């Protein structure tokens, strides 16, 4: 039952092959038995899940089931859930149970989904390996000595380990796509503003975007249809009509023009990863698509621009954690300054502190123009590269990540080496473009992701393209357990 | 680009983050690595390029000035590490 996709679960529930209570119970048991190996959940909401499942079964029986009625999912632990701890992977919020639901959570609840729990993540979504979590690293189900990627590593690992068929995630510089690539799952970062950021704990507000991670493109389309839409509570939310992202999954892609940026296949790309991506591009050619070499000349500037903009915005966003209104407070503060200094010094981990300090530097008197303003100008140059490319092609494809999953601990001491793992994903965040990752092969039994970057608001087309690829290939159905059964995790 | 410990102390003060004496050299070195990475931007010619804030150049929308949220003071105060009589408690600020 844990191998079912969301589309299969929807059908199975409606055809009364099983109940929501049954599949929910099955997955909760599986989490309990297996998640000790992966550490993909921070909180499991068993009681609430069983209540939601029972309510879903009643609605199914009454024939009034909304789109995702009875489908078990999980939320990345930075989406606020009313009355349920929302830690953001941090000691700072270890005791924080929000008084409200994030818009994404509200929408998925309204669609009838069942929440199994909250997934592990890099602290405040800052990381590409899930090693910065206060709750310990997440292990990659494909090889438990390797990272699952980050920052949505818990959501990706939980889907890969078949603990849940789909989960919410967020992507500020690659945090949906890179873990999806490293765990053989499919993940989509929508156009900036498609999915409400209200109740999603902010990291870098001009880059953060929520989206789904699931087993395939069709399931991502189901989840995104429920998650996306205009929200008056988020001032950057796009005011565009709601869409059914499943509507065009079966369209032909015979006339598709795929841009292949030469900068994404240069130095730094693992040769085996390059080979898997090139094989995937050939599969698209076989489906009738045409490959067009393009250039995105400012590609090398994406990582440096990001590491000004994201820390600058983070330093402003994280100033709210003051030890006064909620979250961690140090013991016996001697005065207000001491309360702030030690609450933040003790409550935030090393990487979060580093980024706050970098951001403080970039925004401090005398440096603003040289850093933040400069980075925002470079950001426009990066966007213009894409605008020009999309005059010639429909979508852009390349690798999601330069390497397959690396060993836990391998890059922890060298932040810059870690940052460069996001070299192909960051530009889409800076430009605000939708981008996704889908499985396209294995290297030494570790998954490789193909990245698709689309034009603004083209999520339905991208999901169609990914779905058509998944109709003629079966990489997305490869399971971590068919190769290696960590701790007998197969069944 | 190296960052001296004095600069780190100043940043830590501005950001209100206590950094221990034992870790300050390590923090300085790592910050230096990051600043070296971002300094690549300085070589880029950006004269006349408008800084980009929103990818689709959307602007802030206004809403009607109407009360939409109920008063949930008790619930919010319940999250505070210390509160009393409807107020947040902090160490004494004024003598």
Each residue's pLDDT expressed in tens, for chain A with a length of 491 residues: 999 999 999 999 999 999 999 999 999 999 999 999 999 999 999 999 999 999 999 999 999 999 999 999 999 999 999 999 999 999 999 999 999 999 999 999 999 999 999 999 999 999 999 999 999 999 999 999 999 999 999 999 999 999 999 999 999 999 999 999 999 999 999 999 999 999 999 999 999 999 999 999 999 999 999 999 999 999 999 999 989 999 999 999 999 999 999 999 998 999 999 999 999 999 999 999 999 999 999 999 999 999 999 999 999 999 999 999 999 999 999 999 999 999 999 999 999 999 999 999 999 988 899 999 999 999 999 999 999 999 999 999 999 999 999 999 999 888 888 899 999 999 999 999 999 999 999 999 999 999 999 999 999 999 999 999 999 999 999 999 865 444 444 33
Of the partner residues B8, B58, B80, the one whose CB lies closest to the CB of residue A324? B80
Nearest-Cα distance to chain A for B78, in Å, is 9
B33 touches chain A (CB under 8 A): yes
- Kindly tell me the sign of the dihedral angle through the C-alpha atoms of A120, A124, A125, A126: negative
CB-hemisphere CA count at 13 Å for B11? 26
Residue A413 has a pLDDT of 84
Q: Cβ of B59 under 8 Å from any chain A Cβ? A: no
State the nearest Cα–Cα gap between B87 and chain A, in angstroms.
10
Name every chain B residue with its beta carbon within 8 A of the beta carbon of A433.
55
Give the A window 235-254 contacts with B, CB below 8 Å.
235-236, 238-239
Map residue B76 onto helix, strand or coil. helix
Name A397's bridge partners.
A452
Q: Do B18 and A192 touch (CB under 8 A)?
A: no
DSSP B84: E
Q: What DSSP character marks residue B52?
A: P
Chain A residues touching B63 at Cβ < 8 A: 232
| Per-residue confidence (pLDDT) for residue B62, from 0 to 100 | 82
Known active-site residue A175? yes
Coil, helix or strand at residue B87: strand
Coil, strand or helix: which one is B88? strand
Q: What are phi and psi of A251, to 5 degrees?
A: -65, 155
Across the interface, of A340, A371, A380, the residue whose CB is closest to B16 is A340
Q: Are A186 and A220 in contact (CB under 8 A)?
A: yes
Please, are residues A352 and A345 in contact by the beta-carbon 8 Å criterion? no
Write out A101-150 in H/E/C secondary structure. CCHHHHHHHHCCCEEEEEECCCHHHCCCCCCCCCCCCCCECCECCECCCC
A257-261 and A209-214: which strand pairing?
unpaired
**Residue A386 has which token pair?**
């894409």
pLDDT recorded at residue B1: 57
- Predicted pLDDT of residue A451: 98
Closest C-alpha to A378, from B31, B58, B40, B1: B40
Torsion angle of C-alpha atoms A333, A339, A345, A347, degrees rounded to 10: 90
CB B10 within 8 A of CB A360: no
B contacts of A333 (beta carbons < 8 Å): 91
Burial class (CB in 10 A: 0-12, 13-18, 19+), A214: buried
The C-alpha atoms of residue A201 and residue A124 are separated, in whole angstroms, by 8
Set A19, A20, A40, A76: catalytic member: A76
Q: What is the pLDDT of residues B45-74, one digit of tens each?
A: 999 999 998 888 777 778 889 998 889 999
Kindly provide the ipTM of the predicted complex, given to two decimals: 0.95
Residue A353: closest C-alpha in chain B: B17
Return the bridge partners of A441, or none: A448
Residue count (chain B): 95
Cα–Cα nearest to A186, from A470, A490, A424: A470
Q: What share of chain B is helix, strand, coil (3-state, %, to 5)?
A: 40, 5, 60
Per-residue pLDDT, A491: 38
Q: Is A290 an active-site residue?
A: no
Residues in chain A: 491
For the question of residue A364 being annotated catalytic, the response is: no
**How big is the A-B interface in CB pairs under 8 Å?**
171
Window 415-434 of A: residues touching B by CB (8 A cutoff) are 415-416, 419, 431-433
In the DSSP assignment, the letter for residue B21 is: T
C-beta separation of A51 from A85 below 8 A: no
Contact status, residue A79 vs residue A86, Cβ threshold 8 Å: yes
Residue B11 belongs to what H/E stretch? helix B5-15
Catalytic residue among A129, A152, A155, A175: A175
Distance of alpha carbon A382 from alpha carbon A428, whole angstroms: 9
């Amino acid at each position: 039952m844990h191998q079912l996709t969301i589309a299969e679960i929807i059908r199975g529930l409606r055809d009364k092959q099983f109940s929501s209570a049954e599949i929910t119970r099955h997955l909760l048991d599986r989490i309990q038995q297996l998640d000790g190996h992966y550490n993909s959940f921070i909180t499991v909401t068993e009681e609430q899940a069983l209540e939601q499942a029972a309510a879903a079964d009643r609605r199914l029986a009454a024939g009034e089931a909304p789109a995702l009625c009875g489908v078990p999912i999980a939320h990345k632990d930075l989406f606020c859930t009313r009355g349920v701890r929302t830690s953001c992977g941090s000691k700072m919020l270890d005791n924080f149970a929000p008084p409200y639901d994030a818009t994404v959570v509200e929408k998925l609840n309204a669609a009838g989904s069942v929440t199994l729990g909250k997934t592990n993540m890099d602290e405040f979504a800052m990381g590409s390996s899930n090693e910065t979590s206060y709750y310990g690293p997440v292990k990659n189900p494909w090889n438990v000595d390797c990272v699952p990627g980050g920052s949505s590593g818990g959501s990706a690992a939980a889907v890969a380990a078949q603990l849940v068929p789909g989960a919410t995630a967020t992507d500020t510089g690659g945090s949906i796509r890179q873990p999806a690539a490293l765990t053989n799952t499919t993940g989509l970062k929508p156009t900036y503003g498609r999915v409400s950021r209200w109740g999603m704990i902010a990291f870098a507000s001009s880059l953060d975007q929520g989206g789904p991670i699931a087993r395939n493109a069709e399931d991502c389309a189901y989840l995104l249809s429920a998650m996306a839409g205009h929200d008056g509570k988020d001032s950057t939310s796009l005011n565009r009509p709601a869409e059914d992202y499943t509507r065009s999954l079966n369209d032909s892609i015979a006339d598709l023009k795929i841009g292949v940026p030469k900068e994404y296949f240069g130095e730094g790309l693992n040769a085996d990863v390059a080979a898997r991506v090139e094989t995937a591009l050939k599969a698209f050619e076989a489906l009738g698509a045409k490959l067009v070499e393009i250039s995105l000349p400012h590609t090398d500037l994406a990582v440096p621009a990001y590491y000004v903009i994201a820390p600058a915005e983070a330093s402003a966003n994280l100033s709210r954690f003051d030890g006064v209104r909620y979250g961690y407070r140090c013991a016996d503060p001697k005065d207000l300054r001491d309360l702030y200094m030690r609450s933040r010094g003790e409550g935030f981990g090393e990487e979060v502190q580093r980024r706050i300090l970098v951001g403080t530097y970039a925004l401090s008197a005398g440096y603003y123009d040289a850093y933040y303003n400069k980075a925002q100008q470079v950001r426009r140059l990066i966007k213009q590269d894409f605008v020009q490319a999309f005059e010639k092609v429909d979508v852009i494809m390349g690798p999601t990540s330069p390497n397959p999953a690396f060993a836990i601990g391998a890059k922890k001491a060298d932040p810059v080496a870690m940052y460069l793992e996001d070299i192909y994903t960051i530009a889409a965040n800076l430009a605000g473009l939708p981008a996704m990752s889908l499985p396209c092969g294995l290297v030494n039994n570790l998954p490789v992701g193909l990245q698709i970057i689309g034009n603004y608001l083209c999520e339905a087309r991208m999901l169609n393209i990914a779905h058509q690829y998944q109709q003629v290939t079966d990489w997305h159905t490869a399971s971590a357990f068919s190769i290696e059964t960590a701790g007998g995790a197969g069944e | 680009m190296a960052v001296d410990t004095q600069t780190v102390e100043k940043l830590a003060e501005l950001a209100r983050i206590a950094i221990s004496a034992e870790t300050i050299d390590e923090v300085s070195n790592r910050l230096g690595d990051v600043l070296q990475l971002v300094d690549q931007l300085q070589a880029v010619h950006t004269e006349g390029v408008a800084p980009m804030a929103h990818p689709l150049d959307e602007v802030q929308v206004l809403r009607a000035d109407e009360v939409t949220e109920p008063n949930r003071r008790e619930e919010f105060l319940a999250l505070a590490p210390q509160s009393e009589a409807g107020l947040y408690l902090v160490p004494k600020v004024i003598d």
